Every structure is written in C-alpha cells, then in structure tokens.
Structure 1
Amino acid sequence: MSESLIPKLGVVTDIRKDTPDVKTFRVVSPEGTKVFEHTPGQCAMISIPGVGEAMFSITSSPTNTEFMEFSVKKCGSLTEWLHQMEVGQQLTVRGPYGNGFPVDTTFKGQDLLFIAGGIGLAPLRSVINYVRDNRNDYGHVDIVYGARGMDDLVDYEEIIDEWCNDCGIDVHLTIDSEQEGWDGHVGFVPNYVKELNFDVNKTVIICGPPIMIKFTLAGLQELGFNKTQVYTTMELKMKCGIGKCGRCNIGNKYVCNDGPVFRCDELDELPNEY
C-alpha cells in the first residue's frame, strides 16, 4: 500500500486568522516533526474522523523543515469544524498528492510572474517561498495579487513585511473597489495585469477563481504571452487523491494523478468542464 494512502496523525500547533473566512493551520507530527515531505504545488487530504475529509494545498514551502501549513477557507461542514479547532487538537493528514510545479526544471533561471486572486494565493505561497529560499536559481519575480477588499488579502502581513522587502521581487496588490484606508491600486486582477504590461519573456503561474483565470489568461495573450508559458493548478476538482472516485476525471486525465498542476495549453486538449 502506498505510504501516501495512510492517514498520519497531525497536531495543530498554531492557528492564524488571515481574513474573516480564512485561517492558516500549522501542523506537525505528534513527535513535533514535519508530517511528510512535498514539492511546491502538491496537496494533502485533511480529515477529522466522523466529520469528513477534503483536499487542501500545502501552503508552506518544502524548504521549511519544521512544519506544514494549510490555509483553509470556511465554506462547508469540514471547514467549519476546522475553523473551530484550537491549538493542541489533532487531525489526520495523508499525502502528498499530485504533481507539483516544475521549480527545479522549467522554472529555473526564468523570470517569474505569479498572479493570484483571493484564496488562490494559498497554493502559490509554497512556490513563492520556495523561490525566495533558492533565490539564486531564478530571475526577477513579480507577484500580482488581488482580492475583494483589503481584509480579504491572505498572508497580508507576510507579503508586506517579507515579500515586499526582498531584492528582485516586485509585489503588485489590488482590491476590487475603493475602500477607506486603502491607498493602493483598485481594480480587478485581469485588468491590472494588462495595465502593468509585463514583458512577455516570463513564466507565469496563476491561481484563483476560474472566471479570474479565464480573463487573466485572455489578457496575457493580448500582451503576447503564449499558453505554453502559463501554469495553473486545479486542486478544487480533486476528492480521493488516488484516481479511484472519478470526480476529477476530465477527458482522459485525472486531475489528482495528472495534475493538479497543468500548463495552460494542456488544458486546451481537455473538455471544457472547469
């Protein structure tokens, strides 16, 4: 039996409230070590016995050797339970599942453009921090991130205190509409990407609501980007994680086995189900 199928006990050691409906949970083994290793972009199944289980992105970088983190948006019965948890309580974790982003191959030596909307930053945080921890392997990094309002920006303190102060990294934040106390850019992410008018010699990593991805991808193509330069993740389609339940089947692909990371031109070969 594959090791990734066996649930492992995890202890919640820290809970951070990122937004009104998103919390980030820090998890270790009962021995106080990392539960298992992963690559940026992979996911894990979190379960509360008797309540349910669901797939979540691992939002901490593999370069973090002490713990794993998961950013969870409250949107159902399991996430409701998770949001009621306290430090010291236990859950089970199994994984990792899926393929990760090609950080050690395709991305190496490239200028990178990360584009995220809302909770879509969570799956990209692992990749961004991996790149930050291996800074000499990559070129210039741009991060475009937007949400409905300033209170909905996930990992805001980390972005302002760390990412914005890193050499060779430019962060571009935006919110959907004017808000008191916000003096940054106002507007939707797809339009902001076009306004910024990036050089096309970049590899793009994008995650967010499907409608945001659709219009952002169209905007990137208007700027001259090719779909072969753009990567996204589709973990929302996964359920069992092992290609058995069929929920993530799209055409001849299983998102859990063949994804969740896909290059956007690969998605053109699949039926339009997402």
Structure 2
Amino acid sequence: MPFEGTITSIHQMTPQVKQFVIEADDEFEFEPGQHTTVRFERRDSDEDEDEQVVRPYTATNTPGSNQLTLAIKRYDDGTASVYMHEREMGDTVTLGDLGGNLTLRNADENVAFVSTGTGITPMMAMLKQYLEVGSGDVDFFYGEKNQENIMYRETLDQLATEHDQLSVVYSLSEEGWDGPTGHVQNHIEDYLDDLDRDFYVCGVPQMVVDTKNRLGELGVSDDRVFSEGWEDGEVEE
C-alpha cells in the first residue's frame, strides 16, 4: 500500500546521481536488495488527463529504521528520475511497499557481487548485510564509464579497509587508468581463483545476461547465480 515519506537529506553523489534520505512514520521492514517504488501523477498531454507514474528504486541502506536511502540517476528523458532530481529538502514523496527477488540467499557461502551503473544499489545493501552476518569471503565487482561516475567509492574503499574478507574491483569502460578496463564481468576470472561461491548480478539487462553466460562458461551452476530474474526476457525482446 502506498505511503508518504519526507525527504530529509539530498546529496549529489556524481554529476548525474543524487542520494535521497526519505523518512516515514514507521520503521521499514524489508530484505536488503529489495526496492520500493516512487509514485506520482503527471499530465499526459496526448490524452489531456493525469496518469500515474510508478518507478522502482532500490534502498541502499539496511532495515531497522524509519529511513530509506535511494540513489537515483537523472536521465533527461526519464520521467521519474527528473521528477526526483527536482525535489527539495522537506518535500513529501509517495512510495510503495518494498519487494523484489534480489536478496542474500546464504550468508555462510563465499559471495561475489557484480554490478554496473545504478545496479550497484541493491549490492550496497546486501554487502552491508553480509559484512554484518556473513562468514565467508566477499568480492565486489563494479563497472562504470569513468571515475567521476563511480558511486559509493569512498564507502566501498572504507569497507575494504575495515574488513579483511572484502575485496573491491572497479572496471572502467570509457577511461584509461591503472586499473581494469572494459566490461567488469570479463575480469571475474582474473581476480577469483575459486569460483565456488554465490554470485549476485545487477545492471542493464544485457550486462546481466552476458554475466550469467560468462559465469556458465566458467562452470558456475545456474542455481548459484542470482538476479532480479526478468532480464533474460527483456534482452530476447
């Protein structure tokens, strides 16, 4: 059921991404990795009537408080992202209940998170959860176009310093630097000698499908690779 929350913090993370902290009356209950929806009405100029806009965004924080943290990238032709980037501190927004399939399955297994772009958002929540309750090693692979667009870099670097079991790998597809370049999924075997682990994948549909295919080629069983689950059909279309 939709509910209202108040924006209490706005932080410009990258040139195109803002982080919003939204507070509600009650404590949020959800599994890290699940998403809410931003809901609002806009005027449909073709139909000359209001239409309901509903878009999913994943919380990057863990449950246990009355706050949700959303990192939202602005697209010039993105109805909801433009709407959110125009919000100000103190504004009220309407959100939907949290849900989704991309959640941590087994905290006793070694894990690898593989993401690109804003696909990092569920990974941040699950990573925080794993570092609290997990008992194995965790490798975090993140791909972006260039350094200025890397989200949560300071947080990830700090977590890697604080937790010996965490390794973070960044790969850039449109900038030369002293780290890995190209598609991040192509570097999995460069950094993992042992593929006996659970893999969590999130990004644009083609990246998710390509990563699943690559993991299959490397001998990783399908039942150890987790994503939202709708990406295959999106690419086939």
Which category of TM-score, normalised to the shorter sequence, fits these structures? 0.7 to 0.9
Q: How is 1:184-203 mapped onto 2 (pairs within 5 angstroms)?
A: 184-203=179-198
Q: How many residues align?
A: 226
The aligned amino acid for 2:226 is: Y
Q: How is 1:104-253 mapped onto 2 (pairs within 5 angstroms)?
A: 106-134=105-133, 137-179=134-176, 182-234=177-229
Q: Distance in 1 between matches of 2:16 and 2:106?
A: 32
Structure-2 residue corresponding to 1:10: 5
Deviation at 1:50, TM superposition (A): 4.4
Structure-2 residue corresponding to 1:94: 96
1:60 paired with 2:61, answer yes
The aligned amino acid for 1:211 is: Q
Deviation at 1:197, TM superposition (A): 4.1
Q: Distance in 1 between matches of 2:60 and 2:175?
A: 29
Q: Distance in 1 between matches of 2:66 and 2:40?
A: 22
Question: Would the aligned equivalents of 1:197 and 1:223 in 2 still touch at CA under 8 Å?
Answer: no
Long gaps (5+) in structure 1:
238-266
> Any runs of at least 4 consecutive aligned residues in structure 1 with deviations exceeding 6 A, and if so which?
none
Q: Distance in 2 between matches of 1:234 and 1:222?
A: 19
Task: Give the CA RMSD over aligned residues.
Answer: 2.3
Cα 1:215–1:37, aligned 2, differ >3 Å: closer, same or farther? same
Question: Would the aligned equivalents of 2:35 and 2:59 in 1 still touch at CA under 8 Å?
Answer: yes
Cα 1:72–1:178, aligned 2, differ >3 Å: closer, same or farther? closer
TM-superposition CA deviations, 1:38-94 (whole Å, max 9, x none): 1122221212454733221122112x5251111112121221121121221111112
Q: Distance in 2 between matches of 1:140 and 1:112?
A: 6
The aligned amino acid for 2:178 is: D
1:187 aligns to what SS in structure 2? Answer: coil
Structure-2 residue corresponding to 1:251: none
Structure-2 residue corresponding to 1:252: none
Deviation at 1:225, TM superposition (A): 0.9
Cα 1:42–1:61, aligned 2, differ >3 Å: closer, same or farther? same
TM-score, length basis structure 2: 0.85
Could you tell me the percent identity over the aligned residues?
24
Q: Distance in 2 between matches of 1:221 and 1:8?
A: 41
